[in-house]
Amino acid sequence: MFKRIIQLSENASFFLFGARNTGKSTLIQQRFSSKSHVWINLLNPQEETKYSKSPQLLYEEAMAFDKEITHIVIDEVQKVPALLNVVHQLLFETKLIFVLTGSSARQLRKSGVNLLAGRAFVFHLHPLTASEMGDTFNLDHAMHWGMLPSVTHHESDTDKRHFLMAYTQTYLKEEIRAEQVVRQLNPFRRFLEVAAQCNGKVINYANLAKDTGVDDKTIKHYFTILEDTLVGGMLEPYRHSFRKRLSQKPKFYFFDIGVTRALAGYLNLPLLPSTSLYGEVFEHFIVLECQKLADYHALDFRFSYLLTKDGAEIDLVVERPGKPPLLIEIKSTTSVSEQKLSTFEKLCAEFDDFEAVCFSRDSQKRQVGKITIYPWQQGLEAFFSAN
């Protein structure tokens, strides 16, 4: 059992969003499991049917609760979006606190609900972080199998592979088919494979459309589905003034490495240091860790990447309130050479003010010119901790 670092409110209503199997229900059970809490599980077909037919039943039940009941937990609230109107009413008329979990924002937005008009906080739960795993964390394992809590419950590689393959099928069946967001599942299934193979690369909508057998507009719709069902997000290009011409197309990163490799059909491919695949997966890992920690610690950072027309790139540009931009180069090597940082150093010089770092597998912190090389764990602690 891992101690999650996300800080949830105990005295105010909130939404907790996160993809399937990130541990939302487990977390809520740990922190809100007492006789003063009522649990409504909408993954239970009987519960879903009951409240779908009559959302007002929640109001009637809540008004009859004993006085010691303080919290109502509604798990996977997007299954019955109409319940939010009842919740909104109860927030005005009672002192009940609502804990609302969900793995998709699409159904809520489609139903026109207002997420309780700001009367509930919004949190996001991600797959595990390296710091949450503590001494059990293993980089090679994380890069091969990902960081979903359920992966750690399986001991053999065979079972981990079966779990991840089943996860992708569950996603297609329960999140996509159930919400009826695509007319044909086969093109979307093909899109998932190709998009996963292009994870972390600049999106070429035309090429993806050609490989998937649909048009550009449909590809953009597919990416919206991935964002709405919380299995990935865009990393936008840096858009501020810059002396060089920049790419204006986004990248897309899936929310978990193991799921990405399963979708891409790469689970049987070994990850060998010094290969391009290893470097791509390590970059994916670092990008996710930075985003997860910034979210949990409410750092209000804005992430982007920078790519010039001649191919020079900064992996992450992190805009921080009241501070110069943090420019991050990600290298999977255990010994970053000065030569490997020369292009990065030239790009950094185009900024009027900046802080430049390299996150790598180096064992010691080093200084190369204006660039500080950090062992990745130390770099994350230095720039993405709560302190």
Q: Quick one: fold of 14-124?
A: Rossmann fold (3.40.50)
Q: Could you tell me if 125 and 27 are in contact, meaning their C-beta atoms sit under 8 angstroms apart?
A: yes
DSSP structure string for 242-266: -SS-B----EEEES-HHHHHHHHT-
pLDDT truncated to tens, each residue of the chain (387 aa)?
Answer: 799 999 999 889 999 999 989 999 999 988 876 778 899 999 899 999 999 999 999 999 999 988 889 999 999 998 898 999 999 999 999 999 999 999 877 667 666 566 676 788 999 999 999 999 999 999 999 999 999 999 999 999 999 999 999 999 887 767 676 655 667 778 888 999 999 999 999 999 999 999 999 999 999 999 998 998 899 999 999 987 666 677 789 999 999 999 999 999 999 999 999 999 999 999 999 999 999 999 999 999 999 999 988 889 999 999 999 999 999 999 999 999 999 999 999 999 888 899 999 999 999 999 999 999 999 999 999 999 976
Which fold is adopted by the domain 134-269?
Answer: Arc Repressor Mutant, subunit A (1.10.10)
Measured CA angle at 71 (ends 294, 127), to 5 deg: 30
CA distance 260 to 17: 20
- Burial class of 205 by CB neighbour count within 10 A (0 to 12, 13 to 18, 19+): middle
Element (H, E) at 86: helix 83-93
What six digits make up the tokens of 104?
Answer: 């998709």
The alpha-helical segments, DSSP class H, found in 146-204 are 157-170, 185-197
Q: Is 284-384 a domain of CATH 3.40.1350.10?
A: yes
Sequence ranges of the chain with CATH classification 1.10.10 = 134-269
Instruction: Output the six-digit token pair for 88.
Output: 């909104």
CA nearest neighbour of 27 among 55, 8, 13, 14: 8
Residue limits of CATH 3.40.1350.10 in the chain: 284-384
Residues of the chain with CATH 3.40.50.300: 14-124
